[in-house]
Amino acid sequence: MMEFINPSYLVALCFLLGALCLWLNKVSFRLSGFAAISGSFAVLLGQFALKGVGSLSYLFALMCSTIGLLVVGYSWAYFKKEPDRFGQFSLFLFAFFGSMLGLLYSKDLINLFIYWEMTSLTSFLLVGFKNGSNKAREAARTALIITGGGGLCLLAGLILLGIENGTYEIAKLTSGSTPAAILVLLGIFTKSAQFPFHFWLPKAMKAPTPASAFLHSAAMVKAGPYLIILLTPIFWTNELWSIGLKSIGLISGLVGGYMAITKRDLKAILAGLTISALGIMCVMGSVYNHAALKAFLVFLMAHSLYKSILFMGAGILDKQFGDRDIFRLSGALREYKPLLVIFVIGLGSMIGLIPFMGFVAKELVLKSIEGHWLLFPVCLVFLFYGVAAIRILYPLISKKPKKVVKKLKFSFYCAPIIGAATTLIFGILPGFLNKLVEDSLGEVGVAQKVDLHLWHGLTTAFILSVAIILCSLLISWFMALKKYPEQSGVSETLYDAFWRNVRAYSGKTVSAWHRSGTSLYLYIFFGFALLLVGGMFFTYWRPVVPNVTQAPTYYEWSTGLLVAGGAILALMAKNIFIGVVGLALSGYGMALLFIMFSSPDLALTQFLVETMTVILVCFIFIRFPTKVPRRGTKRTLVNLAVSLGVGALSIGIMWKVLSYPFSSAAAEYYLKNAYELGHGKNVVNVAIVDFRSFDTLGEAFVVFLAGVGVASLFRLMPGYNKYRGK
């Protein structure tokens, strides 16, 4: 038994491989291909060292890595015509590969989520790889938004699980609530392209075919089923979980099947079949018994194999003939015998012909739902498969090929041939997979011996299979070769409409915001402040009227009136300079009040500052017309209301504060120490330059910066450069 290494090393290895290929590709295309293939082989070998980490992860990862190896080899041949892009492609492919492995080997939910999102991100890069094409970019965006949105639901669900269970470790999870189940299902359905989130998958066929062969058959779309089986032990008691999986799975199965028999693009047909197959997997995964889950795993593995080789075959046809439309590819397979073998084996596995692995899988599926009402819809789905297979195969072998093209290179069909051979071998001798499946099922709690055979005898399942195939042949006679117009489904239309409306709505809102003037912003601010502060003040602190111990003397209140009068004059003046006089009156009045309350320093400062202010304000106002523009009555009233509100609130808070006894500890300290430690009799000055010199430091900088700022603004005036001659 080998010691297992840390899975993160393997993940890191994948990323490093990607970078290595990118770098090597600048040197030599062959060299980077060699590095890629040997690297992925190393990753595959690395899986054997990781067996101890977990059997379920191991099964999925082994499947993933095997197909990954085939795809890497295939992609090298695929990019022979544009070698300089291979490096970048390998980078993204290996990044995806690493993320996928990380996902499968995660031991805790957050780790799993991180890799889940990383697969979405890397697949975004892969789908949009041909970034010159608008359709590819849109497809990439759709894929990312949908899987990303689902990812957010998944995150919410995983966090709920974590909170409920007190831990994120998968092994320690015990229960799951319904909200968590719904959210996790949303995440799974978006990732695995189930209805109504299925439409991103056919669009994503714009990706280079090697990417589709890996992501959309064996890797990314299998993340959903992985999560299903991983979480089944905790969710299986939840009604909504099994209902959700069954219903959405069946609907997707039918929708995908329908898609497969109506599309023309070979890859789109395969995409539809993937959606459908994933639907079947969802249905299988919703039943927590040994037979169903065994069927689930075997079906999953069979699907990965046949789907990837079919995609690879489609890619070969695309490169050789430059087209993916089945009606324009008539007789293409007649030219290339190896390709014919690939398609026959792949399609055969898909519809469940002996002796392919798909047959084993299909038997298990049918057997596990014997006697259950699910049997009918599932058979319907398999019927669609049959029709789709004919739809693909018949045109490709029927007539004579229209174009004469080059010979097919071995390197190109090497990988899919190996894949096809594997399908055949695992079909005939599925016993190789016994231990793998058994251990995995044991890990999720359905421990039982697993014994896979090709031939089980003339069981009900077998008869049913044969019946389905015969029916599909019959139906194909009428339906398989029909041409349907291209149209988007309901979900896609809704999705597009949604984003159109979001953009339109936000556009309108933003332009409304921009058109508003500064005065509106001011009103909003004051309104908000009044509401918030006033609300808090009146609710929690209660205003209070202070008791006046001393009546103000005549000079105090008359100066007060002067201050108020100056302010009112400034507001109501019709001539702008009278307004300035009002301001000055107000300011000098304040200075007088300071003298009356024995603050000479403050008064001196106020006098000087007010003088300066008046001079500067006059300088500014000289450039304005002297007549102050009148505002409308409505505007004036609003302004009045706001000002009175702010004024009243300030007075209210101030009175409340005054009602508390003033704590004079600080004042006493300053008074006591000003002469002794500060060596000065003027406490105010000592406070400014000694006790609180730090404040003055900051304020000095403010004054300095104000000067610099004014100067810089003046430099912008048009006359400046001419006058200064610079």
Partner 1 sequence: MGTLIIKVASKYLIAIILLYSLFMFFRGHNYPGGGFIGGLAAATAWSMYGIVYKASGIIQERLEPSKISAFGLLVILISGVVGLGSHTFFKGVWFKVGPVKLGTPLLFDAGVYLVVFGAVVNIVSYFEESFKWK
Partner 2 sequence: MSVLCAIPLFLSLCMSVLAFLLKGDKRFEKIGLLGFAGLVVSSGALLYYSAMNGLLILEIGGWRMPYGISMQVDVFSATINFFISILGLCAYMFSLDEIKEKRSRAGYYSAMFTLFAGANGVLLTGDLFNMYVWVEVLVVSSFLLLSMGQNKKQIKGALPYVLLNFLGSMFILSSIGLIYGLTGALNFAQISLLMDGLGIGPSATFGALFLAGFGIKCAIFPLFFWLPESYHRPPAAVSAFFAGVVTKVGVCALFKVYGLLFYKHMEVFQGALIWIGVFTMVSGVIGAVALYDVRRVLSYHIISQIGYMIFGLGLFGAKAWAASIFFIVHNILAKSNLFFIGAEMNRLGGSYNLQKTRGLYNFYPLISLLFFISAFSLTGIPPFSGFWGKLGLVEAGFEANEYLASSFALLVGLLTTYSMVKIWILGFWETPKSEKCRGPKNKYQMKRIVPIFILSMLSLYIGLWPEMLLSLSKQGSEQLLRPKLYQEQILGGVR
**Interactions with partner 1, residue window 166-225 (CB under 8 A):** none
Q: Which is nearer to partner 1, 537 or 621 (CB)?
A: 621
Supply the minimum distance, in Å, between the C-beta of residue 61 and partner 2: 19
Report residue 678 as tokens: 């500060």
User: Residue 480 has which token pair?
Assistant: 């398989």
Give, as one character, the DSSP assignment of residue 176: -
537 binds, among partner 1, partner 2, none (CB under 5 to 8 A by kind): partner 2
By CB under 8 A, is residue 514 in contact with partner 2?
A: yes
Q: Which of residues 653-692 bind partner 1 (CB under 8 A)?
A: 677-682, 684-686, 688-690
Q: Does 655 bind partner 2 (CB under 8 A)?
A: no
666 touches, from partner 2, partner 1, none (C-beta below 5 to 8 Å by class): partner 2
Could you give the CA distance from residue 80 to residue 208 in angstroms, rounded to a whole number? 13
Distance CA 47, CA 95 (A): 17
Residues 190, 195, 197, 198: what is their CA dihedral angle, to the nearest 10 degrees? 100
**Residue 178 binds partner 2 (CB under 8 A):** no
Q: Give which of partner 1, partner 2, none residue 503 binds (C-beta under 5 to 8 Å, depending on kind).
A: partner 2
Say how far apart CA 571 and CA 631 lie, in whole Å: 12
| Residue 710 interacting with partner 1 (CB under 8 A) | yes
- Residue 134, token pair as written in the block: 């608008």
506 binds, among partner 1, partner 2, none (CB under 5 to 8 A by kind): partner 2
**Footprint (CB under 8 A) of partner 2, residues 667-696:** 667, 669-670, 690-695
* Three-state SS sequence of 97-153: HHHHHHHHHCCEHHHHHHHHHHHHHHHHHHHCCCCCCHHHHHHHHHHHHHHHHHHHH
Q: Is 504 in the site for partner 1 (CB under 8 A)?
A: no
By CB under 8 A, the count of residues binding partner 1 is 44
Q: What is the C-alpha separation between 474 and 488, in angstroms, rounded?
A: 28
* Whether the Cβ atoms of residue 291 and residue 265 lie closer than 8 Å to each other: no
Contacting partner 2 within 634-653 (CB under 8 A): 650, 653
Phi-psi region of 542 (alpha: psi -120 to 50; beta: other; left: phi over 0): left
Distance between CA atoms of residues 330 and 343, nearest Å: 14
CA distance 118 to 473: 42
Stretch that binds partner 2, among 232-240, 416-424, 503-511, 572-580 (CB under 8 A): 503-511
Q: Could you tell me the smallest distance in angstroms from the CB atom of residue 563 to partner 1?
A: 21
Among 237, 685, 699, 720, binds partner 2 (CB under 8 A): 699
515 near partner 2, rule: CB under 8 A:
no
Say how far apart CA 630 and CA 615 lie, in whole Å. Answer: 25
Spatial separation of the C-alpha atoms in residues 685 and 687, rounded to whole Å:
5
For CA atoms 672, 677, 682, 683, give the dihedral sign: negative
Q: Using CB under 8 A, pick the residue from 630, 713, 723, 724 that binds partner 2.
A: 713
Name the one range near partner 1 by CB under 8 A: 54-62, 562-570, 636-644, 697-705. Answer: 697-705
For the bound state, the minimum distance from the C-beta of residue 530 to partner 1, rounded and expressed in Å, comes to: 34
Angle of helix 410-428 versus helix 290-321 axis, rounded to 10:
160
Segment 572 to 601, residues that bind partner 1, using CB under 8 A: 600-601
Report, in Å, the least distance between residue 570 CB and partner 1.
21
Q: Which of 48, 555, 655, 701 binds partner 1 (CB under 8 A)?
A: 701
Bond from prior residue into 416 cis (ω within 30 degrees of 0) = no
> What's the min distance (Å) between Cβ of 662 and partner 2?
6
313-332 residues in contact with partner 1 (CB under 8 A) are none
CB-wise, 376 or 528, nearer to partner 2? 528
Interaction pattern, residues 113-132, with partner 2; x per rule: CB under 8 A: xxx-xx-xx--x---x--xx
* Interacting partner of 650 out of partner 2, partner 1, none (Cβ under 5 to 8 A depending on kind): partner 2
The nearer residue to partner 1, 525 or 720, going by C-beta atoms, is 720
Q: Interface with partner 1 includes 716 (CB under 8 A)?
A: no
- For residue 241 the two structure tokens come to 């979980």
Rounded CA-CA distance 259/276 in Å is: 9
